[in-house]
Amino acid sequence: MALKDVVAGVRNEEGIAAVLGILKQSFGERFQTGQSFREQHSHTTSYLPAQLPDGVVFVETSDDVKTVVRACAAHRVPMIPFGTGSSLEGHINAPSGGISVDFTRMNKVLSVNAEDLDCTVEPGITREELNTYLRDTGLFFPIDPGANASIGGMASTRASGTNAVRYGTMKDNVLALTVVTADGEEIRTAQRARKSSAGYDLTRLFVGAEGTLGIITSITLKLQGIPAKISGGVCAFPSLKAACDTVIMTIQMGIPVARIELLDEMQMKAVNAYSKLSYPEKPTLFVEFHGTEETVALQAEQFREIAAEFGSDEFRYTANAEERAQLWKARHNAYWAGRALAPELNGLSTDVCVPISRLADCVAETQADIRETGLLAPIVGHAGDGNFHVLMLFDDKNPADLAKSEAFMARLNARALAMEGTCTGEHGVGQGKMSYLEQELGSAIPVMRSIKKSLDPDNIFNPGKIFRM
């Protein structure tokens, strides 16, 4: 169960009071303790209840971060890094109080090395801001988790999204980091070379650590050339299994599809209603191809053949940029479309990921469970990775409804784990998935805990997340 993990931690009142004084002194107007600031920094699109920080500091430089870390370390006060607040598992909650470290103003592009296809940015920049900045270089940063998240937040949750199937996740696209550690010093985890065997892979340790081991202050990212040609399309299927089998075959054939997204019947109904479209309300794949004029046409044709083999309806293919934008806008609005199915209810978006051979089974069993439980819960997935989301809609004022949703979620996670999958493909653990992580990798948690203790002995970096200390 997830809600039971949102527990209050022990508050170090004396330390917090001392730090509030120091930060007011150091940051003036850039440090805020008003209720609305504090609420805004723990409010998320999650169903999890907010746990407010005691203050919010708007950092602008690495030195600011060092100042905050030194003050908090001296008084053993928690720090919670904040990007845009789009995380889903309570990552920015402050169960033991402390300081929200807001990176909104620390959002510069520090360098772009077009020849090397890389750039270095501050953590607060959002992926859309970065891509706007890059537009004239012919390069783009591909990772797209849907929300216009900050790059720092995306690194910290090991985010991915629609085109991870082609370009990988944040794990694959961060070349190096600078991080302020518990002693208030800044370290660099790697050089700018494309590969290295030089020592422990600290880059990958901080990517996905959810801010529990240190505070990221800059990120060196791989970039991609904007494809000469992008095309895509929509294809409905007689059954979920047919859609999933099409995905499996596409991946196994090595077709370098850039996006291959699965939407189930309920999700298509929601998309049509929300975006005023008229797609068939059947299990559907949204696909996209990146390459040259010739290669995208070739890929599309190969995909069409596979889809036809599994009995698909017509593959509505387009190389027209406007039609493509409309298609992906509809996909990206899937969350809000889902919520609009029942605007009076709250939503719980959860994600699991299984080996691709088990995707059809896992989604089908989950759909059956949704029907049996009587839930309103559309499914949408990054099918090429075996990763899918269930948006459960429920009345959070109704304990029975909440209990039903959480019991469903427990079954969903158990199902994914039994299929050698993971309790989270891209959302992260935060507070909401601590119990499931325990089920998934219980034997490894003592190792994670040792690392946490060694790098953050006073448990001041985003405490109460990922696992219990």
Binding to a copy of itself in span 174-233, by CB under 8 A: 181, 185-202, 204-205, 207-209, 213, 224-225, 227
If one asks whether residue 429 binds a copy of itself (CB under 8 A), the answer comes out as: yes
Stretch that binds a copy of itself, among 21-29, 373-381, 403-411, 413-421 (CB under 8 A): 413-421
Residue written as token pair 């600078």:
178
User: In terms of CB distance, is 198 or 400 closer to a copy of itself?
Assistant: 198
CB of 353 to a copy of itself, least distance (A): 4
Cα–Cα distance between 379 and 351 in angstroms, integer? 10
Stretch that binds a copy of itself, among 127-135, 342-350, 398-406, 416-424 (CB under 8 A): 416-424
User: In terms of CB distance, is 277 or 364 closer to a copy of itself?
Assistant: 364
User: In terms of CB distance, is 15 or 432 closer to a copy of itself?
Assistant: 432
Within 77-136, the residues that bind a copy of itself by CB under 8 A are: 113, 115-118
Contact pick of 51, 163, 387, 435 for a copy of itself (by CB under 8 A): 387
Total residues interacting with a copy of itself, rule: CB under 8 A: 88
If one asks whether residue 30 binds a copy of itself (CB under 8 A), the answer comes out as: no
Contact pick of 125, 356, 377, 383 for a copy of itself (by CB under 8 A): 356
Within 309-348, the residues that bind a copy of itself by CB under 8 A are: none
Per DSSP, the chain holds a count of helices (H) and strands (E) of 17, 18
Contact pick of 268, 423, 461, 463 for a copy of itself (by CB under 8 A): 423
Lookup: tokens for 200: 């422990």
Contact of 5 with 49, CB cutoff 8 Å: no
Contact of 401 with 376, CB cutoff 8 Å: no
Question: What is the distance between the terminal CA atoms of the chain, rounded to a whole angstrom?
Answer: 19
If one asks whether residue 35 binds a copy of itself (CB under 8 A), the answer comes out as: no
The full DSSP string for 158-227 is T---TTHHHH--HHHHEEEEEEE-TTS-EEE---SSS---SSS-HHHHHTTSTTSS-EEEEEEEE-EEPP
Cα–Cα distance between 205 and 184 in angstroms, integer? 18
Q: What is the rounded (10 degree) CA torsion for 455, 459, 464, 468?
A: 70
If one asks whether residue 467 binds a copy of itself (CB under 8 A), the answer comes out as: yes
If one asks whether residue 169 binds a copy of itself (CB under 8 A), the answer comes out as: yes
